[in-house]
């Protein structure tokens, strides 16, 4: 609208207000004593002329504006009653929106998403069964699955998203999260919100299949955003979070910016593309000179001290033991601040998909039980995705337990002849020593209000003051 009015000779700009979402901006027009009534009348007539054309151009309706501002625009809607809903909302596209993976064709879903992360058909079923009927509200998620097809029934877009409770400081600096966690000792749900999130808190990988060779890909993506907004409103959520997009995808960034999303940097993802080796001797030449020294001195020298087992499930009698090791890591990690997983997560592992557990035990006779474990997923697309770890920090400094677990994970992926190892985020220095490729990731956020973000900024300002 601003561009159109400027082209008509009216000086206007966008009115953005502190604490208000970008999608609720306004039109700013200066009125002075030097202007006549006719000047004001002319700009209003120009606005009246361009308004329906802007709606059509931006694929919007008066109802969208009403929902964005949470205000009634009945008079405006009646004034433009002849406007049809934008054809781009659906048009030639067919939308399949389900709330259980059971209603999605397994072969089709896997053909589109199985090689992208932990969310093939069985992986999604695991999430559904694990995150329901739990006593804690943060561990009960509602899942949604989308497949959008063109006029020839060819999938243009496929993805899944979840309704769930998140900590508002989930991706805030670690020092901010530490301060807020002190408050949560007495108020567990302080600064938490219901969020509609692409993927889930327990999925890693590229959650969105989008066929950009299709002329309908932008319409399909717009439909996805509209559906997520509908779910946000009906569920009482206050934010949409689109996660794990490549930062260098400028076309997607620009598209989402027009829909009112704000981009924020996420952690670097680590990927190993070359697993075509069978022995450590074959791995070493693939590493940098410094990494070779590190591998020999700090990892291979300690490898004989450990026994390594790989299991397809966790025995019920050892769940508490594994959970305690997981909580040691969870209580130290604030880079991605989330709620702790339910115990059922560990019990359910062996019932769905390609989950497995790498377990490290020290051979010394005076210690019983594992000192570390890693939970990984082998996808139908034959990629390996480590999801989380547990660690006994009492033994880490002496024996290099964490480094050993990373190495055994890389070895496991190579032993399975996997195509890629998606090593996740965090521990950049340690993972880079295994020759990982860094992928810079972004998250796109659309919030109903900015109050909670401003609250987080106050914690950060306090930290800077120290």
For residue range 148-166, what is the model confidence (pLDDT) as tens digits? Answer: 999 999 999 999 999 999 9
> Rg (Cα) of the chain, in Å, rounded?
26
Q: Which structural domain, as residue segments, surrounds residue 403?
A: 270-439
In this prediction, residues 161-176 reach a mean pLDDT of 94
Could you read off the pLDDT of 109-122 as tens digits, one per residue?
999 999 888 999 99
Q: How far is CA 6 from the centre of its chain?
A: 38
63 lies in the same domain as 145: no
Reported as a pLDDT band with limits 50, 70 and 90, residue 21 is low
Residue range 129-137: mean pLDDT, rounded: 96
Q: How confident is residue 369, by pLDDT bands cut at 50, 70 and 90?
A: confident
**Total structural domains in the chain?**
3
Residue 74: which pLDDT band, with cuts at 50, 70 and 90?
Answer: confident
Q: How confident is the model at residue 82 (pLDDT cuts 50, 70, 90)?
A: low
Average of per-residue pLDDT across 211-236: 95
User: Residue 219's domain is classified under what CATH number?
Assistant: 3.40.630.30
298 lies in the same domain as 247: no
Closest CA to 260 of 291, 228, 298: 228
Q: In this predicted model, which residue has the larger pLDDT, 87 or 453?
A: 453
- My answer on whether 307 and 434 are in the same domain is yes
Judged against a pLDDT cut of 70, whether residue 378 lies above it is answered with yes
Residue 464, pLDDT score: 44
Query: Which residue did the predictor score with more confidence, 117 or 376?
Result: 376
CA pair distance 166, 162, nearest whole angstrom: 11
Determine whether 235 is exposed, middle or buried from the number of CB atoms within 10 Å of its CB (0-12, 13-18, 19+). Answer: middle
User: Are 459 and 411 in the same domain?
Assistant: no
**Environment class of 397 (CB within 10 Å of its CB; exposed 0-12, middle 13-18, buried 19+):** exposed
Q: What percent of the chain has pLDDT over 90?
A: 68
Out of 85, 115, 146, a domain closes at: 85
pLDDT at 89 over 60: no
User: Do 451 and 320 fall into the same domain?
Assistant: no
> Confidence class of residue 433 from pLDDT cuts 50, 70 and 90?
very high
- For 121-127, what is the mean pLDDT? 95
Spell out the residues 6+ positions from residue 263 whose beta carbon is closer than 8 angstroms to its own.
Answer: 253, 256, 257, 442, 443, 444, 445
How far apart CA 407 and CA 409 sit, in angstroms, is: 5
Provide the percentage of residues in the chain whose pLDDT is more than 70: 91
pLDDT at 386: 96
List, for residues 391-402, the tens digit of each pLDDT value: 999 999 999 999
301 shares a domain with 242: no
3-class SS of residue 103: helix
Q: Are residues 428 and 386 in the same domain?
A: yes
Q: How far apart are CA 219 and CA 58, in angstroms?
A: 11
For residues 241 and 443, is the Cβ–Cβ distance under 8 A?
A: yes
Q: What token pair was written down for 144?
A: 């949604």
Clarify whether residues 251 and 332 are in a common domain.
Answer: no
Q: Do both 113 and 260 map to the same domain?
A: yes
Cα separation values, 336 from 20, 169, 266, 310, 425, Å? 26, 8, 10, 27, 10
The Cα–Cα gap between 378 and 118 comes to: 8
pLDDT of residue 1: 80
**pLDDT band at 465; cut points 50, 70, 90:** very low
**How would residue 128 be classed by pLDDT, with cut points 50, 70 and 90?**
very high
Cα–Cα nearest to 196, from 141, 278, 277, 120:
141
Confidence of residue 88 (pLDDT cuts 50, 70, 90): very low
> Side-chain half-sphere of 428: how many Cα atoms within 13 Å?
7
Q: What is the mean pLDDT of the chain?
A: 89
Q: 453 and 308 share a domain?
A: no
Q: Residue 325: what pLDDT?
A: 97
């Amino acid at each position: 609208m601003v561009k159109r009015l400027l082209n008509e000779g009216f000086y206007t700009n966008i009115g953005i207000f502190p604490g208000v979402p970008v999608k609720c901006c306004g039109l700013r027009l200066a009125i002075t004593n030097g202007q006549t009534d006719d000047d004001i009348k002319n700009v209003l007539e120009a606005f009246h002329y361009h308004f329906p054309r802007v709606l059509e151009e931006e694929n919007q309706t008066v109802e969208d504006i009403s929902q964005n501002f949470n205000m009634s625009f009945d008079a405006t809607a009646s004034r433009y009653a002849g406007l049809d809903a934008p054809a781009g909302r659906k048009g030639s596209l067919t939308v399949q929106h389900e709330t259980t993976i059971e209603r999605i064709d397994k072969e089709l879903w896997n053909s589109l998403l199985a090689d992208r992360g932990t969310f093939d058909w069985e992986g999604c079923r695991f999430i559904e069964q694990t995150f329901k009927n739990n006593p804690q509200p943060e561990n009960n998620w509602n899942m949604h699955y989308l497949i959008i097809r063109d006029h020839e029934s060819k999938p243009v877009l496929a993805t899944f998203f979840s309704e769930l409770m998140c900590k508002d400081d989930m991706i805030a600096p670690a020092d901010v999260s530490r301060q807020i966690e002190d408050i949560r000792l007495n108020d567990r749900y302080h600064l938490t919100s219901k969020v509609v999130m692409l993927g889930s808190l327990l999925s890693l990988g590229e959650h969105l299949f989008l066929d950009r060779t299709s002329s309908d890909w932008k319409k399909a993506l717009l439909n996805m955003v509209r559906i997520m907004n509908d779910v946000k409103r009906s569920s009482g959520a206050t934010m949409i979070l689109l996660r794990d997009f490549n930062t260098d995808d400028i076309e997607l960034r620009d598209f989402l910016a027009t829909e009112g999303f704000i981009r924020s940097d996420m952690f670097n993802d680590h990927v190993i593309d070359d697993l075509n080796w069978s022995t450590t001797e074959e791995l070493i030449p693939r590493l940098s000179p410094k990494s070779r020294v590190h591998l020999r001195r700090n990892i291979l020298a300690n490898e004989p001290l450990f026994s390594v087992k790989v299991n397809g499930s966790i025995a019920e009698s050892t769940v508490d033991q594994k959970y305690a090791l997981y909580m040691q890591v969870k209580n130290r990690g604030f880079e991605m601040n989330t709620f702790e997983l339910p115990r059922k997560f560990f019990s359910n592992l062996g019932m769905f998909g390609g989950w497995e557990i790498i377990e490290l035990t020290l051979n010394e006779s005076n210690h019983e039980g594992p000192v570390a474990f890693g939970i990984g997923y082998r996808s139908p697309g034959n990629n390996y995705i480590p999801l989380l770890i547990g660690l006994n920090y009492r033994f880490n400094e002496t024996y290099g337990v964490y480094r050993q677990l990373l190495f055994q994970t890389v070895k496991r992926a190579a032993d399975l002849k996997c195509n890629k190892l998606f090593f996740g985020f965090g521990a950049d220095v340690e993972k880079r020593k295994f020759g990982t490729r860094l992928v810079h990731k972004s998250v796109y956020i659309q919030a109903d209000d900015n109050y909670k973000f401003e609250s987080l900024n106050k914690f950060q300002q306090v930290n800077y003051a120290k």
